[in-house]
Amino acid sequence: MAQSDPAEVHIGCPECETSINASVPPGPGIDEESHANRLQGSETACRNCGHELELYYY
């Protein structure tokens, strides 16, 4: 299912356990009948300790 607005995700930093809010851009989602789905990624940094986090999504 396609998404038209960025989705907000909340993850915990593995270094200091601070909650991090990140935005994942809209994408096509997972469609089992399409082979064009590609895993994409985004980076963000923890505002508390600076640890870099990578987010992956379809």
Could you report the average pLDDT of every consecutive run of 10 residues in the chain (58 residues)?
A: 71 93 76 69 91 86
Kindly report the backbone phi and psi dihedral angles of residue 31, in degrees, each rounded to the nearest multiple of 5, phi listed first.
-125, 110
Q: Return the pLDDT at 6.
A: 78
Does the pTM surpass 0.85? The reply is no
Cα gap 27→19, rounded to integer Å: 24
Q: Return the pLDDT at 57.
A: 79
Residue 17 identity (one-letter amino acid): E
Tracing tokens 């601070």 back to the chain, one arrives at 18
Position 43 in a domain: yes
Position 2 in a domain: no
Position 41 in a domain: yes
Cα gap 18→34, rounded to integer Å: 37
Say how many CA atoms lie within 13 Å of 39 toward its Cβ: 3
Position 27 in a domain: yes
Q: How many domains does the chain have?
A: 1
Q: Return the pLDDT at 1.
A: 47
Q: Return the pLDDT at 31.
A: 67
